[in-house]
Amino acid sequence: MSMDRVAWSSLYNITRGADGSRTFSKALVKRVFGFARPHRNRLIAFVLLSIVMAVLAVATPVLAGQVVDAIIAKTDAGTVIWLAVLIAMVAVAEAGLGLVTRWLSSTIGEGVILDLRTKVFDHVQKMPIAFFTRTRTGALVSRLNNDVIGAQSAFAGTLSGVVSNVVALALTLVVMLNKSWLVTVLAMILLPIFLIPARRMGSRLAELRREAAEHNATMGTQMTERFSAPGATLVKLFGRPDEESHEFAVRAGRVRDIGVRTAMLQFTFVTALTLVSALALALVYGLGGWLALGGQLAAGDVVVLALLLTRLYAPLTALSSARVEIMSALVSFERVFEILDLKPLIQQKPDAVESPRGPLSVEFDNVRFSYPSAEKVSLASLEDVSTLDTRGGEEVLHGISFRVEPGQTVALVGSSGAGKSTIAQLLSRLYDVDSGAVRFGGAGTGTGVDVRDLTFDSMRETLGMVTQDGHLFHESIAANLRLARPDASEELMWEVLRQARLEDMIRSLPDGLDTIVGERGYRLSGGERQRLTIARLLIAQPRIVILDEATAALDSTNEAAVQEALGAALEGRTAVVIAHRLSTVRAADAILVVEGGNIVERGTHTELLAAEGRYAQLYRTQFAEATAVAAEAVPEL
């Protein structure tokens, strides 16, 4: 390795060492090596081959020195040719071993990335909804990308690098001291001139790199938010494009300035260290040549010392920054483990059972519930805050009890924040109750089965839900439908689209079922998007349906089309419907009025109007509002 490459390598490693002063527990280190266990055979082979390559790297300068001595001694040509052949064989061996070690390095490193990423991805999927409502998506994705890749370096490079560099350093020192202890000691004295600037310069470059990363992260967040469909709409309606552009340009300009300054610092650093290497070589050739002329050193030994000089500096500088590399890798592992150590609040029991067969009833039995505090479901680093919110733990449902018989529809109505959506989330087991139980049961089966005793697969097959936002993935219509049923045939998809009143519209599209719906389905209208989520519900064929404000954001025309589709979705199924517009739930078998986390009234539409209670008040208020709107729409004569 040339001295300028040593300089660049040393600068890179030291620059990364922002966390080099940290200490880590033995438990963390032991846990890290746990990820190496599946790759231990390749890792051992990698380390052994790295040692062999270190030996070969020292052999080449020694053979070169022997060639020089043979030429000066005017030995036979066969000796010189034989030594040249050996040098060539060493070079071929180094190249071959280099390919093998590179393959081992990449397979180990990529294997660790695969293990970490899949483990974190699978773990995150098990987290409760509260985790996702609090977490910055970008910060979470960063853990799956940047930190996982940072952790990879511990196995792919650092570990073998430490071993091979120790061997190379030991062999180089032995050979150099054997040739000339004086030249070796004087060469070692120049080492501090090599390392001290690297430490100081590396610290400054690390600060610049952190500042640039912060600006880039801010620009990335700004672009992510502004370039999404809802974000772009918001900026066009209420934003200030000129100010947005100026703010972005200021940050981009600062990144440019940092880039220029960083480039100049790096060039100055490498130039200075290249000068040091030239001085070191001058010392070797000058002092070594003087000793050779005095008969105290062979001419070939001067060549050996000069060639081994970089073999001495390279491992020394690498080992001096090895701790920095290890600490950086451990920081990445620690950040990944933070995610893995968050325990999912919703877990499947080892002895979980399947849902009862046939039509199902739904029962809430004296259910009490409080939303979990932030410390149970989140991390401050994922929320971009210094400390987590300490609020939470206040009870929001107070002894909720009701029963929905198989095939019946029960509607939940009430003020915003009364607890209706919370009831739906407990029914779908997005959260677990604090006390009481939510049960599924067959007709005439009595108590039923607690949803906490059901398998996750059984829950997904049993229950389907349509929410107010009608979320779709940036994929094709077919892919969004098959999310609920991967084996769905094209005929089945067209059938559910017909039931959802979407068949004609989808057939009119050039790509039909292969049409990409856009981010969150924004290429479709609100009514089309909502009907597609209903089609997705229909293709899943659940026995229990939850409709959470499924028509709240629609106009009257789209609402009528969606209500038609909902009629097909609810037919023959047990349903819990949350509605803001009371006109949509008049035909429900029972209506529950929820206020302040309690059921304050229950009955049919007619019974509740006759009772002159909270439901009648809500209904008359909505009727009066609707009448006023209709009156305003009539033009004056």
- CA distance linking residue 488 with residue 409, whole number of Å: 27
CA count, 13 A, side-chain hemisphere, 18: 11
Domain 3-340 adopts which CATH fold? Answer: ABC transporter transmembrane region fold (1.20.1560)
The ranges assigned to domains in the chain are 3-340, 360-633
Report pLDDT for 185: 80
What is the H or E stretch that residue 576 is in? strand 574-578
d(CA 17, CA 34): 24
Q: Among 280, 279, 297, which Cα is nearest to 288's? A: 297
- Provide the sign of the torsion angle of the four alpha carbons 265, 271, 277, 280, taken in this order: negative
* Span 360-633 CATH architecture: 3-Layer(aba) Sandwich (3.40)
> Of 427, 380, 402, which Cα lies nearest the Cα of 599?
402
State the first-to-last Cα distance of the chain, in angstroms, to the nearest integer: 93
Q: Are 380 and 386 in contact (CB under 8 A)?
A: yes
* DSSP H/E element including 534: helix 526-540
User: Which of 561, 484, 487, 572 minimizes the C-alpha distance to 529?
Assistant: 561
Residue 354 DSSP one-character state: P
371 close to 453: Cβ distance less than 8 angstroms: no
Closest CA to 625 of 594, 586, 582: 582
Q: Return the pLDDT at 637.
A: 39
Helix (H, G, I), strand (E, B) or coil at 412: strand
**Residue 467 pLDDT:** 79
Q: Which residues contact 155 (CB under 8 A, 6 or more apart)?
A: 35, 36, 39, 43, 108, 109, 112
Q: Which residue has the tokens 């987590």?
A: 388
Look at residue 518 and give its three-state secondary structure. Answer: coil
**CA gap 307, 72 in Å, rounded:** 18
- What the block records as the tokens of 188 is 């070692």
d(CA 632, CA 230) in angstroms, rounded, equals 30
pTM of the model: 0.69
What's residue 96's pLDDT?
Answer: 92
Radius of gyration, CA atoms only, the chain: 35
Strands 435-442 and 449-450: antiparallel
Residues of the chain with pLDDT under 50: 3, 8, 11, 15, 17-21, 628-637
Distances (CA, A) of 546 to 29, 360, 467, 528, 550: 47, 13, 8, 19, 9
In this structure, the number of other CB atoms found within 10 A of the CB of residue 36 comes to 17
pLDDT score at 156 = 59
Per-residue pLDDT tens for 439-484? 998 765 567 899 999 998 888 888 888 877 777 888 888 998 888 8
Pairing outcome for strands 409-413 and 590-595: parallel
Q: Are strands 395-404 and 360-370 parallel, antiparallel or unpaired?
A: antiparallel
Amino acid 126: pLDDT? 83
The structure tokens listed for 613 are 């209670």
**pLDDT tens-digit profile of 514-568?**
888 877 777 787 778 888 888 888 888 888 988 887 665 555 666 666 677 677 6
The C-alpha angle 300, 302, 304, rounded to 5 degrees, equals 70
What's the confidence (pLDDT) of residue 223? 77
